[in-house]
């Protein structure tokens, strides 16, 4: 069965069981502070499990892009070495939100695997939770009894908390689970040892394919469990592992999900898969990582230096390292695999097709830049090797190479071992641990349980229409972190505060109670669909009602910037072309930032055209036309632009100003005239094919012009109030250039005169041209003069003394011929004479200098010079 069919069979099976099929959510999560990437199928539905919202259908199924490279689930180091863990993989899942429970979940899983896919029952094992004393929960006999109806009891294994109790995080919904494992070993192997003994033992052919989680508890902050009123089903099946089983192969990499990519790697690199272990690991690493990186970029998450972008960069760098070391690839090539990948997966994931060119460009540029880093690292490493006295390279040095220059430690170790040197791994790990401790200490955080005041999960957002409201606090909790200290998170029954999202910052403002007490709200964010207000203090009369007031001035400035962002987007597509796509935006009260795909720097004319376009829309006084809760299809049909990597519901909000229409949840001015004026302040590159514009509007533009104006008058003042300041400045510059030239000439003349003078002062002693003299030149001038005279005589002995800034300098030049014939040594001489100026120095036998702190001693030193040649 082809992988495409395996995927669609899963979805149609659950569709027939009355599940709504939804598309995969983007991989990068935007409103969950505990997770960077979606790492399991349930992550996008967390709000439903937490009771913060109600899905349209309480049965859902999908295939979800998951990434397990950071945090609680991190399989990165396994990938390439084993045959069944990936960074990015698809998780097929079916969900029940308070609807069906264990009976149906187990029955359907069994039906799908054994009847629809036709998997032989005799290769399956299942597990159930054995219970846990500490948590005080018994064995999951309910699941056991259901499984008994389908599978022989000796194939039902009991598992502990680690394998059979699933938790979303330290807190929140959790419950026992049943895993389904396959044993795809040969009959011979099975005869030697029973599959039963290999389940959950990391055997590559006895692997878990499906996990059925029965969410029936809630884990509280103090660690205790309480029963959930609504019980849920959350299942996840590894798509690539399922393909392995159904295609009768022994490795995920031998399925048609991977073979086209592997063939392409073989062709490009001229290496064969399946002949050499190291090459095989590298090929698996690359074929896996290119998927993770390509999907991420297509979802709008580009490689970068921080956060999720940094994780992506590290994955790609791991692939480059393996191809550099084991496939001898010194030029970018991973980007060339995107073609095959988008052909293979583009139907199920259309974003791969439409974003292909960008994905290729970004990967290529990243590859090129990391290969340069590797080159530089090799040079540095060679230097370290040269400086190494014994045969051990210190952990500190290796860590510096790793931390400052991004040079991977495994490559360092490999190169050192090839040179017969050792790496102090212990020292390296200590340095690494120190760094980790530093960053952990900075990010440590503790979160208390919610204190529920009003049991009301409905929360209304009224911030599109109002900046003030009477509100009640429905729940709150305390969060303590090193960075912010104590912070209180407050949830209201309704709120005018806009939570950070869609690039727009969260509102600030205050709460005021009837006694006139005020608590400032410093930020607003959305977490798993709940709007949370942040306060440094807890209000004192929690159960009363409050006036919640948004900082209107800041909101208005932010709105100006948000509307301007839409107009800028439109302007760029108009001026540069339809290939321009939004790749990120940040809308603050002080400025806006807009990242977009485009392949060259904007010219001055283009920037002017863009600015003019936006300003003409502002002058056009276009009114805001807002449509809320309209079907997504309707908005798209009207021409609304949507963004990749953004999660949209079935109904959306569209924002229109003239011909600019976007799907947007942010807040906007009522009329473009409110923006007053738009000004671009910078344009530059952020990545290959991605440009960034920063701009300002409204008050910020006024400040900008004020500031420029002030600077202008200050300048004019300095120019003695010249009538034409630009001309005055030009004159000044010209004059300055002329003066510079004159000074240069004067200095040259001076040196020339000095040389002539010194030459005439040479005295012949014992066949040696001798001069010892105090002169007024800097160190480099003295060197110049000495070598110049040296080129005219081959029997020269010079000793110059000079005083500068209260310090003394002696400088000795001896012709090489004299050094050889008379055994004279300038280095030795300045060291000797250094005592008169209370200092020391050295150099070569033919030229050396000494510095000292006693200029009064210069004359005495000069007097002694003759002694050396007489």
Q: What is the largest distance, in Å, between two alpha-carbon atoms of the chain?
A: 117
**Is 861 in a helix, a strand, or coil?**
helix
CB of 268 to ligand ATP, least distance (A): 25
**Sites for ligand ATP among residues 220-239 (CB under 6 A):** 236-238
CB nearer to ligand ATP: give 237 or 535: 237
In the complex, what is the shortest distance from the CB of residue 314 to ligand ATP, in angstroms, rounded to a whole number? Answer: 16
Q: Of 180 and 487, which CB lies nearer to ligand ATP in the complex structure? A: 180
Residue nearest to ligand ATP (CB): 238
Distances (CA, A) of 253 to 39, 204, 280, 328, 672: 21, 12, 10, 22, 55
Q: In Å, what is the CA distance from 325 to each residue of 258, 270, 332?
A: 22, 14, 13
If binding is defined by CB under 6 A, does position 284 make contact with ligand ATP? no
Residue 177 annotated as part of some ligand binding site: no
d(CA 404, CA 8): 47
Q: 181: annotated binding-site residue?
A: no
664 is in an annotated binding site: yes
**In angstroms, what is the minimal distance from the CB of 181 to ligand ATP?**
9
Among 234, 240, 254, 280, binds ligand ATP (CB under 6 A): 240
Q: To which H or E segment does residue 707 belong?
A: helix 698-718
- Which of 59, 85, 102, 677 touches ligand ATP (CB under 6 A)? 85
Contact between 241 and ligand ATP by CB under 6 A: the answer reads yes
Give the one residue of 25, 29, 60, 91 binding ligand ATP; rule: CB under 6 A: 91
Site mask for ligand ATP (CB under 6 A), range 38-77, x = bound: --x---------------------------x------x--
The two beta strands, 530-535 and 485-492, are: antiparallel
Residue closer to ligand ATP by CB (options 80, 238) is: 238
Rg of the chain over CA atoms, in angstroms?
Answer: 37
* Using rule CB under 6 A, residue 319 touches ligand ATP: no
- Work out the burial of residue 67: count CB atoms within 10 Å of its CB; fewer than 13 is exposed, 13-18 middle, 19 or more buried: buried
Alpha-carbon gap, residue 265 to 259, rounded angstroms? 10
Question: Binding segment for ligand ATP among 86-94, 220-228, 263-271, 577-585 (CB under 6 A)?
Answer: 86-94
CB of 198 or CB of 374, closer to ligand ATP: 198
DSSP per-residue codes, 425-451: HHHHHHHHHHHHHHHHHHH-EEEPPPE
End-to-end CA distance of the chain: 101
Q: DSSP 3-state assignment of 411?
A: helix
| Contact residue for ligand ATP among 37, 49, 89, 214 (CB under 6 A) | 89
Residue of 149, 151, 99 whose CA lies nearest to 127:
151
Tell me how far, at minimum, the Cβ of 127 lies from ligand ATP, in Å.
Answer: 11
The one-character DSSP state at 115 is I
Give the shortest CB-95-to-ligand ATP separation in angstroms.
13
Residues of this chain, 478-507, that bind ligand ATP according to CB under 6 A:
none
Q: How far is the CB of 164 from ligand ATP (least distance, A)?
A: 10
Q: At its nearest, how many Å lie between ligand ATP and the CB of residue 341?
A: 17
| Residue 566 annotated as part of some ligand binding site | yes
Q: Among 86, 271, 508, 557, indicate the residue that binds ligand ATP (CB under 6 A).
A: 86
Of the two residues 89 and 333, which places its CB atom closer to ligand ATP in the complex?
89
| Nearer of residues 132 and 832 to ligand ATP, judged by Cβ | 132
Long-range contacts of 673-676 (CB under 8 A, 24+ apart): 673/618, 673/619, 673/621, 674/556, 674/559, 674/560, 674/563, 674/698, 675/560, 675/563, 675/564, 675/618, 676/560, 676/618, 676/701, 676/702
Write down the least CB distance from residue 570 to ligand ATP, Å.
Answer: 42
Contact segment (CB under 6 A) with ligand ATP among 84-92, 95-103, 539-547, 838-846 equals 84-92
Whose Cβ is closer to ligand ATP: residue 76's or residue 837's? 76
What's the CA gap between 643 and 628, in Å, rounded? 18
Least distance CB 5 / ligand ATP (angstroms): 19
Q: What track of x and - describes contact with ligand ATP for positions 176 through 215 (by CB under 6 A)?
A: -------------------------------xxxxx----
Task: Return the half-sphere exposure (C-beta side, CA atoms, 13 A cut-off) of residue 603.
Answer: 5
Closer to ligand ATP by Cβ: residue 36 or 696: 36
- Give Cα separations from 140 to 26, 163, 177, 229, 478 (angstroms): 34, 13, 9, 18, 35
Alpha-carbon gap, residue 773 to 220, rounded angstroms: 87
Kindly identify the residues of this chain, within the stretch 440-469, that bind ligand ATP according to CB under 6 A: none
Please report, as residue ranges, which positions from 13 to 42 form the binding site for ligand ATP (by CB under 6 A). 40
- In 238-355, where does DSSP find H-type helix? 239-246, 259-269, 277-298, 307-326, 338-345, 351-354
Tokens of 66: 């998951």
Q: Which residue has the tokens 């919904």?
A: 173
Binding pattern to ligand ATP, positions 774-813, x when CB under 6 A? ----------------------------------------
CA angle 837, 818, 748 (to 5 degrees): 65
Q: Which helix (H) or strand (E) holds 631?
A: strand 625-631
Give the nearest distance from C-beta 81 to ligand ATP in angstroms. 12
Q: Which residue's CB is nearer to ligand ATP, number 180 or number 519?
A: 180
Smallest separation (angstroms) from ligand ATP to the CB of 244: 10
- Calpha distance 470→202 (Å, rounded): 58
> Residues binding ligand ATP: what is the number (CB under 6 A)?
17
CB closer to ligand ATP out of 40 and 563: 40
Instruction: Count CB neighbours of 134 within 10 A.
Output: 7
**Residue 138: how many other CB atoms lie within 10 Å:** 12
With binding defined as CB under 6 A, does residue 533 bind ligand ATP? no
Task: Give min distance, CB of 66 to ligand ATP, in A.
Answer: 7
Nearest CA to 336 out of 413, 285, 389, 268 is that of 268
Tokens of 422: 């050792």
Residues annotated in the binding site for Zn(2+), as ranges?
562, 566, 664, 668
**Footprint of ligand ATP on this chain (CB under 6 A)?**
40, 68, 75, 85-86, 89, 91, 207-211, 236-238, 240-241
Residues annotated in the binding site, as ranges?
562, 566, 664, 668
């Amino acid at each position: 069965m082809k992988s495409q069919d395996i995927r669609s069979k899963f979805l149609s099976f659950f569709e027939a069981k009355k599940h709504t099929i939804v598309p995969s959510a983007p991989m990068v999560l935007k409103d969950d502070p505990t997770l960077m990437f979606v790492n399991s199928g349930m992550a996008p539905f967390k709000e439903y499990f937490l009771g913060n919202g109600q899905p349209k259908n309480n049965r859902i199924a999908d295939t979800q892009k998951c990434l397990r490279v950071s945090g609680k689930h991190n399989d990165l180091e396994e990938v390439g070495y084993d045959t069944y863990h990936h960074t990015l993989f698809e998780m097929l899942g079916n969900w029940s939100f308070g609807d069906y429970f264990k009976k149906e979940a187990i029955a359907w899983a069994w039906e799908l695997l054994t009847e629809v896919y036709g998997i032989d029952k005799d290769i399956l094992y299942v597990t159930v939770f054995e219970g846990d004393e500490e948590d005080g929960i018994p064995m999951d006999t309910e699941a056991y009894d259901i499984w008994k109806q389908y599978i022989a009891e000796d194939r039902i294994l009991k598992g502990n908390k680690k394998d059979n109790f699933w938790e979303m995080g330290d807190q929140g919904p959790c419950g026992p689970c049943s895993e389904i494992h396959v044993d795809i070993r040969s009959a011979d192997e099975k005869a030697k040892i029973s599959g039963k003994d290999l389940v959950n033992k990391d055997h590559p052919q006895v692997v878990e394919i499906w996990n059925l989680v029965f969410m029936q508890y809630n884990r509280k902050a103090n660690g205790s469990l309480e029963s959930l009123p609504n019980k849920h089903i959350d299942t996840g099946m590894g798509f690539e592992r399922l393909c392995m089983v159904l295609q009768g192969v022994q490795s995920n990499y031998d399925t048609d999900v991977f073979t086209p990519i592997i063939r392409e790697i073989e062709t490009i690199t001229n290496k064969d898969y399946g002949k050499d272990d190291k090459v095989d690991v590298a090929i698996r690493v690359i074929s896996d990582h290119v998927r993770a990186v390509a999907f991420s970029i297509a979802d709008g998450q580009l490689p970068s230096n921080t956060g999720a972008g940094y994780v992506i960069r590290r994955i790609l760098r791991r692939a480059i390292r393996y191809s550099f070391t084991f496939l001898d690839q010194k030029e970018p090539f991973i980007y060339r695999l995107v073609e095959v990948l988008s052909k293979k997966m583009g139907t199920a994931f259309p974003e791969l097709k439409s974003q292909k060119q960008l994905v290729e460009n970004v990967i290529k540029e990243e590859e090129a830049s990391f290969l340069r880093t590797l080159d530089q690292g090799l040079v540095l490493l060679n230097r370290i090797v040269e400086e190494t006295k014994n045969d051990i390279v210190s952990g500190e040095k290796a860590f510096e190479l790793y931390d400052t220059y991004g040079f991977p430690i495994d490559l360092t170790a490999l190169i050192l071992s090839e040179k017969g040197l050792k790496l102090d791994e212990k020292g390296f790990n200590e340095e690494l641990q120190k760094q980790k401790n530093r960053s952990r200490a900075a990010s440590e955080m503790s979160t208390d349980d919610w204190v529920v005041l009003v049991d009301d999960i409905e929360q209304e957002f009224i911030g599109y229409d109002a900046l003030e409201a009477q509100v009640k606090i429905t729940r709150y909790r305390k969060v303590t972190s090193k960075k912010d200290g104590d912070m209180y998170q407050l949830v209201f029954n309704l709120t005018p505060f806009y939570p950070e999202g869609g690039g727009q910052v969260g509102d600030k403002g205050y709460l005021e109670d009837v006694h006139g007490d005020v608590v400032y709200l410093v930020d607003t964010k959305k977490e798993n669909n709940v709007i949370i207000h942040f306060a440094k203090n807890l209000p004192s009369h929690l159960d009363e009602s409050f006036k919640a007031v948004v900082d209107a001035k800041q909101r208005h400035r932010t709105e100006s910037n948000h509307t301007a962002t839409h107009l800028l987007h439109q302007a760029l597509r108009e001026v540069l072309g339809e290939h321009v796509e939004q790749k990120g935006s940040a809308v603050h009260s002080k400025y806006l930032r807009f990242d977009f795909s485009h392949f060259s720097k904007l010219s001055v004319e283009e920037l002017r055209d863009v600015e003019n376009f936006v300003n003409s829309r502002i002058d056009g006084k276009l009114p805001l036309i807002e449509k809320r809760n309209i079907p997504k299809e309707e908005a798209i049909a009207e021409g609304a632009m949507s963004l990749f990597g953004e999660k949209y519901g079935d109904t959306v909000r569209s924002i229109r100003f003239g011909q600019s229409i976007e799907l947007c949840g942010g807040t906007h001015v009522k009329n473009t005239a409110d923006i007053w004026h738009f000004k671009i302040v910078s344009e530059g590159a952020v990545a290959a094919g991605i440009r960034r514009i920063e701009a300002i509007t409204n008050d910020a533009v006024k400040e900008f012009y004020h500031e420029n104006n002030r600077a202008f008058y200050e300048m004019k003042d300095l120019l003695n109030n010249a009538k034409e300041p630009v001309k005055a400045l030009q004159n000044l510059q010209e004059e300055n250039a002329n003066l510079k030239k004159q000074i240069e000439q004067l200095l040259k003349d001076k040196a020339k005169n000095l040389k002539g003078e010194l030459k005439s002062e040479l005295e012949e002693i014992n066949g040696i041209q001798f001069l010892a003299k105090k002169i007024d030149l800097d160190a480099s001038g003295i060197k110049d003069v000495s070598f110049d005279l040296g080129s005219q005589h081959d029997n020269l002995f010079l000793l110059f003394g000079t005083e500068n800034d209260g310090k003394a300098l002696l400088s000795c030049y001896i012709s090489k011929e004299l050094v050889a014939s008379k055994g004279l040594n300038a280095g030795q001489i300045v060291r000797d004479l250094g005592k008169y100026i209370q200092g020391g120095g050295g150099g070569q036998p033919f030229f050396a200098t000494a510095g000292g702190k006693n200029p009064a001693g210069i004359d005495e030193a000069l007097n002694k010079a003759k002694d050396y040649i007489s």
